Structure formats: structure tokens, C-alpha cells
Amino acid sequence: MPRKIILDIDPGIDDAVALAIALFDPRLEVVAVTATGGNVPPDQATANLQALVGFLDPPRLPRLGVAPSDTALQEKPFNMHGADGLGGIDLPRAQLHGGHLSEKVIWEAFHAHPREITFVALGPLTNLSRVLARDPAIVELIGEVLISGGTFEGHGNVTPVVDFNFYCDPRAARHVIREPVAKTLVPIETTGQAAFGFDLLDQLPDESSRAGAILRRMLPHTFRAHRQLLGSEGISLHDVVALVAVTNPELFERTTVAADVETGGELTSGMLVIDRRTVRQWRPNLDLLVGCDAAAVKDCVLRGLAAAGDAT
């Protein structure tokens, strides 16, 4: 049976790539895709999500959630994704059927499929935090939460010690990390191990496919942004690697930790804090993926991209 998931995204180029793979992976049943602000403002996140799903035209249309506009997110210090979040590819806007807030879509999906859904958080944890605040008892209905974000050794990519997703909404990150639900976190040190070089562009689906048309227009922007803003010739597709942790968990090294998130530090707000004391005082609450078979993970990504191209 395919694994039921909710994809919670802030598209975002790497989110868009992960979405294209997930929608056409026969091992996954994408029950819903929900938008949140992060890489782009909430309204743009919703527009991008609707445009991507409309253009890709998957065989089974998931429910779509609208990003909440009343959430205060930290302002981004730099923009890796272009003005529209998708590298300026100017997808036709598609107002798809529905229009319910992401938190409503998530809440209803958990109730429709109790303990069956893996919530895959590829953006800030705003939406899941709002659902948990609205109905704390819903933790009993969540199968698992997989989170793309956080740092294992404090090697941040927005501040010296904080990754982008936790930086945007530290309070939501703390709320979710503290909840008594099965959680797996894929930190950026791990997702960054599976970096891609320029040869990725030659391995994308043909532009005659819908997925290929999008990918071949978006990813050159990612390479330019990594070179100009980070001084890197390769790229890290953090959220795409996190999706592989859902479909191929055997490719990752796992450890259980006791963790929390800092929300008040002037220099550390959003930092994942792990109790590393000899005599640990905090209770274990999080599975952390601290390494991966990078070559195998990259192969999974390439096969996922090829399958998306074949299907579109």
C-alpha cells in the first residue's frame, strides 16, 4: 500500500522539485499539499502551489491548502529562489478548486486517516503548530512527522547556528519539537551531504515533459544563486533529500536525542538545542538523521525526477 503523506511546503525551488517527485511516486499517496509562508510570502506560496499542481497535472489531485496570511515570519536575510520563489519561470496562475486554509485541510486529513499519515514538513512549521494549538488531542491521530530543518552541530545557513526553516518561525519549531508525537528530523548538515554538480542539468527529464519543462527552467537559477550568494559551484536540494528520507529511510543513519528549540536568543533564535550532557536531564523526544549514503540518495533523486518526466 502506498504511504499516505501530507506535504507542507513553502515553494521555493527545492520544494517544487520535491513536489514534482512526490506526486508521481507510486510508493506515496499525497493526500494533501499545504502551503505556508517562508521562501516566499504566504500569498505567493499559495499561488506557486496551485500553479505547480495545475501545470504538472498529476493523475490524482491532492487537496490543497492556502497559506495563513496572519502569521508573523522572520524576514529573510537573502533570497535564493528569485522574486516569485520559482526562479522567475512565470508559471501560468491556476486558481484550483478549494481554497481552505492549510490548517483546516491538515486537521481534516488527520481525522479522515487516523494514525496513517506522515506529515512531511518541508518549510517552516507554522501550519502544524497552528493545528496542534487548535486541537492538542490531534497528536493521537498523527502517524509520524518528518521535518526538513534544524542543525545537528550548529552549522546554520541563515545565521551561524540556525537553518532557514527554523529561523522563519522559531516558536512554531519549538511547539512541534515539544509535542508528544513521533518525529524524525533531517538537519541541513545531513541533507547537504547529497550535493549536486552541474551534471544534474544534463540528467533532468526532457523539456517536452511537463516536469522537465519546469525543472529545466528552475534549476539553472539555483546554480546561479548558490554561486553568487554562497560561493558554491554545487547545489544542495535540502527538501528533496528530506523526501528521500520518507521513501528510503534505510539510506540514513538515525539516532534518538533529547532536543528543544531556542526562541529568545539574540544570536540563536531558532537553534535546535540537543542535550549532550553526560547525565542527560531531558527526555528523548526526536529521531535525528545524522548521516546518509550520499551516492544512493542522489540516485534516488535522479530516478524520482526521471519518473516524474515519464509520467508528464
**3-class SS string, 3-37:** EEEEEEECCCHHHHHHHHHHHCCCCEEEEEEEECC
Q: Are 151 and 188 in contact (CB under 8 A)?
A: yes
Among left, alpha and beta (phi > 0; psi -120 to 50; other), residue 26 is: alpha
Q: Are 159 and 167 in contact (CB under 8 A)?
A: yes
C-alpha to C-alpha distance for 303 and 205, rounded to whole angstroms: 10
Active site residue 113: no
Question: Cβ–Cβ contacts within 10 Å for residue 100, how many?
Answer: 16
Which of 240, 214, 235 has its CA nearest to residue 85? 214
**Catalytic machinery residues:** 238
